[in-house]
Homo-oligomer: A and B are copies of this chain.
Amino acid sequence: MTELEDELRAIVGPAHVLVDGDLRAPYETDWTRRFTGSARCVVRPGTTGEVAAVVRACAAAGVPIVVQGGNTGLVGAGVPAGGEVLVSLTRLNRVEPVDAVEAQVTVDAGVTLERLQTHARAAGLDFGVDLAARSSATVGGMIATNAGGIRVLRHGSMRAQVAGLEAVLADGTVLTRLTGLAKDNTGYDMTQLLAGSEGTLAIVTRARLRLVPLLPARAVALVAVADTDAALDLLAAAREQLATLSAAEIFYPDGLELVRSYAKLPAPFGEPAGAYVVLECAGRTDPTDAVLEMLATSDAVIDATVASDRAGLDRLWSYREAHTEAISAAGVPTKLDVCVPLGELSALVTELPGTVAAVTPTARLIVFGHLNEGNLHLNVLDTGEHAEEVTDAVLRLVAAHRGSISSEHGVGRAKAPWLQLSRTAEEIAAMRRIKTALDPAGLLNPGVLLPA
């Protein structure tokens, strides 16, 4: 064992090869505490060249690698299965100056979303993806999982922000494509192939990212509606009438209660409702009047509260954004992240409680998510020993509604056994051919995404 570790120490320096169990521990369990595994060692390379050398050393020794960014993933893709070298990319943390003419920036994979946002905003621009884990989630991890979040409605998912990549293949080859041309049809789009491949094809080390205009004027409406159908009616009106719409989120009464109890928040409305929608508009000028006008003309609105000042925005958003933490504080949830066509959303929401209860009547289901994309985060608490059964039953229900078993979190280890519910046998076979072509020895993230 020590021979490889000695090689790794020679590459990254002794301080950045962590063999001791206490030092490895923070890397070996994910944020949800659901996934844990033992790494042979943790290696923290500081440059792309060091990543490539680490990969070559592991390849020569025949030791598999698991890649980790901010360790905020939700499907166990960054946690070892057992015995891998865990490559942590957080020391890859350089940001280049913002290119204002192209509205792009090149950053290292280990840069956090929050730092990227701060960097872009200092140049009068912004980053198109935002999500609650921003203080820890890294650019590399967000590319590997094709992260989504609350601004997909306006700017698309992470892959839409990526104009180019630098990545290390399983044989140590470095692919570099960071010019960030607006249009470039010279062969296969390796950038888009690697985005969402969950570290199974290459290790992303740098990215050329598109930036978006900084829209300082925001208005948020928290709207009480009768049910999911009413929420979709409200969404249709908002999309039709609000050119500046930037987010449309949904949550339900049981989630609201959990959040209020956890975050000590007052009831947003005098009367409880069947569902709640958060709409956000962002523009160069205050969009509040347009929001109020739309709300006044929508039959779906039972009650609504609108804010456009910083404190008010944060307060209204907190009802939605505190869901993840409130759920985590209540226990270790079975987390599912699904997407169905909008026409199937209401039926899915209606059928979910019965599907869960049929497996384990005492489980608690908390549903919230990104309304515009039909993307629901399903959190099942108190599943006890029935986590796999609940997962199986729910994902089959989703597939029956023509949905995806992973909308934005990825497949990882958690969903790999159910991949065939969302991809055909022919697609999975084609994916395996690509995996084998780029990583014939199966060195990178074995067991992640493609079922072993």
Contact = CB atoms under 8 A, between A and B. Distances in A.
A146 B185 contact: yes
Contacts of A373: 181-183
Interface string A398-424: 000011111111110001000100111
Contacts of A101: 236, 341-343
A176 interface: yes
Interface stretch (A5-13, A25-33, A186-194, A259-267): A186-194
Interface of A: 101-102, 145-146, 148, 152, 157, 159-160, 169, 173-177, 179-190, 192-193, 195-197, 201, 236, 243, 283-284, 339-343, 370, 372-375, 402-411, 415, 419, 422-424, 426-431, 433-434, 436-438, 449-450
Given A101-B342, A181-B374, A372-B182, A175 B407 contact: no
Contacts of A174: 426
Contact of A175 (B180, B374, B404, B426): B426
Given A426-B173, A434-B438, A438-B434, A406 B189 contact: no
B189 A159 contact: yes
The 7 closest A-B CB pairs, nearest first, are A437-B437, A182-B373, A192-B192, A184-B404, A186-B422, A433-B437, A183-B407
Contact of A148 (B183, B406, B423): B183
A185 B342 contact: no
A280 B101 CA distance: 20
B196 A189 contact: yes
A237 B402 CA distance: 45
Contact of A197 (B146, B169, B188): B188
13 contacts: A101-B342, A102-B341, A152-B182, A179-B404, A181-B373, A182-B374, A186-B405, A186-B419, A187-B196, A187-B419, A187-B423, A188-B431, A193-B434
